Structure 1
């Protein structure tokens, strides 16, 4: 069992123990004036337990979310650097400036992707998008360096659509969280 699960179980057990102790106090004072006070304490502790139980799935997903966040952040940053290098290579190799029409939007897209948020619900989709980004960036590098045919630009465009699709959630919200 991981440390996260162990911590959650310990906190849950403590809250359950508190509820049990408060329940015992309520039962002791079932026929006197102290009953109302003890019952209010029992309700308070029980509400804390219920609120904690609501957060358990998010707490369990947190280590995976943090891992995804690191993968996503460094993937997008790395590919932004690669894109900048490809733009520089256009000038170094004295290539046609028309390559900038392809490379500058790719660079802008990778830089914009560096600032996305990775939340608990969509962290796996964002990780998938970051891995897909590596494939698209490899295509862009191979195309711009004339290693493969320029017809692969179509594959790169399709790849960008798939990567962009992984950045939107199923509720129709955009990557920054605003509703459409």
Structure 2
């Protein structure tokens, strides 16, 4: 049975957008978050909806999964789940490249931007397809969208992978950070990526 789409609404505050100092009344929305839930709360809520599952069983199973995720990250793997991407990293500043334990010997140039993952929020897919009217969650490095002169909010162009034609130009971003972009609903021609009228476009 196809799962019904449920609509939600959030209450939010307006926060002054400081990147455009020459514009007096532009803001970003900051959601008024409700109390934080932990794994026990989530397990209980699932068990209330799905009576065939016990809350303690769900909690114990998820705890085992979390431990395995941590173990695999410690071994150097990245782990992609339905809601998060886990990647091993080393924080802090290293002075010089000599005498470092387990250093690979490669020194990477960080001069350019890099997109690590593009996720269709509506479907959860990360295979390059985009749902018309949906949203994109883009993560990476140095990907903040700016104008050519480095000011304001720039525009993002999506290109059809098959034809190289411009599929959409996005000028409204929910999040515009160096490491993450959230793009508002995308106006694409349905099926413009070569699929039928019910299929996401491939970008």
TM-score under structure 2 length normalisation: 0.16
- TM-score normalised according to structure 1 size: 0.17
Higher strand share: 2
Q: Computing the radius of gyration over CA atoms, which structure comes out larger, 1 or 2? A: 1
